[in-house]
Structure 1
């Protein structure tokens, strides 16, 4: 299991330097977002020492463009077909798989998991009987992000947020044991297949060959690439932004869920407003902020936004969508500096201004 520190979706913005200025060739007057990005990205990547960025953008629940700029590896140009490690953007994929299993009544979001999986490290701890799929999906298991040799509770399950990859891995073991089928196989059947996602996988596939973006450190040095042979629910899925955009569109279309379950995905399960809205943010705080099921959920001026980021060594990724506006954007990079591309890219796209303004305040 990885020991790399991961950034919770929201905290990742607070720690990253997003205020990178976009300099270089100016797009022509009246240019659309795709043309603005094509003109500005070369200078942005050079300025911030980002190896490559690949972007897919959605408007009105339709994929309107997918572009890539920079190098997937030395001498190899990134294209919209380049596969990136999405890091913690694996979690929304796994969360959606569990929600669709709940829609089929294969699992219940509030059933105790100990009946089908009980980690030996916590078998003697009565708190293990409190764990449910809902607590894993909303980061309230009480587990750390990753165990330090042995799994242990840091706090009482269900009491407060504690971002945890271990919680997702625990849930995956429960699903596999209860249903007799691994979570990644369910994802292929219930999520990837129906959404038309043919460029996303939890484990190494023959079609990976020649398509992989290599991770880079902040100085541009190529880092070792890790590809799983056994799936993780929380990390190391490979995908393209355009395929991940197909996933977001499927969510906005309500694919595979009852309306009640689709609403549960966005409903605040773990409220962060009291912590986030302290001075100096008290006067410009969103109406709602916290974790839903697999996503961080915001309500700003009556409009809902769902967000997640991913960060591994040499990788930064982001995806957001608004089920109300029908817009969304996916940004994948293969660089430790990748977070510095986010605000410039979103500014150039020019959608969902209130949400982008919130991200800017968080980064300020």
Structure 2
């Protein structure tokens, strides 16, 4: 996609949400959402949803429907636990450190820090930031109450792992001598003007949290998060996350080489993702994990996407970085991802990607 040549204009565009006049396309899309989303919420028993739409590399609109909690309407200022959509932000912190020259994608993590659970396993020396951010560590998703251990040799297979992100974050802290939240504030939140985003509980969360709800509509109490996780539990608004996605589209804060690394598949999953005949017929040319994102390439079109699921919440982002369009979906329901395909179809997402996602159903 074309890059914005002037950084000043780039920053101004990042801070222009609903104050900019909507385009005809955006106005038409808003009208369709106003018409259809309330019915979709009722159909799928979803209390509330907030949506941000990026078009041509800038925020076109942000809207909210339903309720954030019983009797409280959802708004564009409602805060959602975005679950694993935390991972692209944490990866961005690491990539900006790499772009600053603090370390490389292929530096051994063991040279700076190693988990005590792995002290007797020489395979720990194979771990790098690249392997951690592309789900090739060999760690389980979570260690739970078990010691951390490898399920395969790092770099030889792909398996989704939140533990891998926690491991790389610890490395970044040890390497810099700075806490990970402070690194995120300096490298991502402040440059992108993300003032409504935090890894841990803040006073300004009060009265703004979207209450998680189960599939049958049961409210799940919010528990304040006092410890950061690099892989989970950031709270933010769709408008703030849109600023982040625009920054990703424009490769803000990254060298050209590192930006190119983020947009390519690092851990190929095409064989395992496209096993069935139905799935193969819709499969992308490239499928796998990049650095913080899942990556699909259809010809010359690259799409970065990622979802998030925790108890009572479901979120998703689809970013067509070639065209400069993206859809951000935050819901406070276990049923929330039922909205994804209907929204993508109504908002004009790449038909090949929609068919690929639908083939998994």
* TM norm structure 1: 0.89
State the alpha-carbon separation in 1 of the partners of residues 157 and 321 from structure 2: 26
Residue 107 of structure 1: how far off its partner (Å): 2.0
Residue 305 of structure 1: how far off its partner (Å): 0.2
Cross-structure match for 1:33:
29
SS at match of 1:110: coil
Cross-structure match for 1:62:
58
Is the aligned partner of 1:146 residue 2:142?
yes
Cross-structure match for 1:17:
none
Alignment RMSD (CA, Å): 1.3
State the alpha-carbon separation in 2 of the partners of residues 66 and 31 from structure 1: 11
SS at match of 2:155: coil
The alignment of Structure 1 onto Structure 2 pairs a total of residues equal to 334
State the alpha-carbon separation in 2 of the partners of residues 260 and 249 from structure 1: 19
Cα deviations across residues 269-314 of structure 1 (Å, max 9, x unaligned)?
A: 1111222333403343211111111100010132000000000000
State the alpha-carbon separation in 1 of the partners of residues 348 and 300 from structure 2: 19
> Judging changes above 3 Å, is the alpha-carbon distance between structure 1 residues 31 and 118 closer, same or farther for their aligned structure 2 residues?
closer
By relative contact order (CA 8 Å, sep 6+), the higher-ranking structure is 1
Is the aligned partner of 1:229 residue 2:215?
no
CA contact (8 A) 2:303 2:319 kept: yes
Cα deviations across residues 9-36 of structure 1 (Å, max 9, x unaligned)?
A: xxxxxxxxxxxxxxxxxxxxx9711111
Residue 100 of structure 1: how far off its partner (Å): 0.1
State the alpha-carbon separation in 2 of the partners of residues 74 and 282 from structure 1: 43
State the alpha-carbon separation in 1 of the partners of residues 51 and 299 from structure 2: 26
| Alignment match of 1:102 (pick from 84, 94, 98) | 98
CA contact (8 A) 2:109 2:128 kept: yes
Structure 1 residues 252-267: aligned runs within 5 Å: 252-267=249-264
Following TM superposition, the consecutive aligned residue runs of length 4 or more in structure 1 with deviations greater than 6 angstroms are: none
State the alpha-carbon separation in 2 of the partners of residues 232 and 31 from structure 1: 38
CA contact (8 A) 1:34 1:349 kept: no
| Alignment match of 1:345 (pick from 333, 343, 346) | 343
CA contact (8 A) 2:127 2:137 kept: yes
Cross-structure match for 1:80:
76
Is the aligned partner of 1:196 residue 2:196?
no
SS at match of 1:196: coil
Gap regions ≥5 residues in structure 2: 1-25
State the alpha-carbon separation in 1 of the partners of residues 27 and 100 from structure 2: 46
Cα deviations across residues 7-66 of structure 1 (Å, max 9, x unaligned)?
A: xxxxxxxxxxxxxxxxxxxxxxx9711111111111111111111110000000010010
Moved more, 93-102 or 169-178: 169-178
State the alpha-carbon separation in 2 of the partners of residues 239 and 31 from structure 1: 25
Gap regions ≥5 residues in structure 1: 1-29
Moved more, 89-98 or 206-215: 206-215
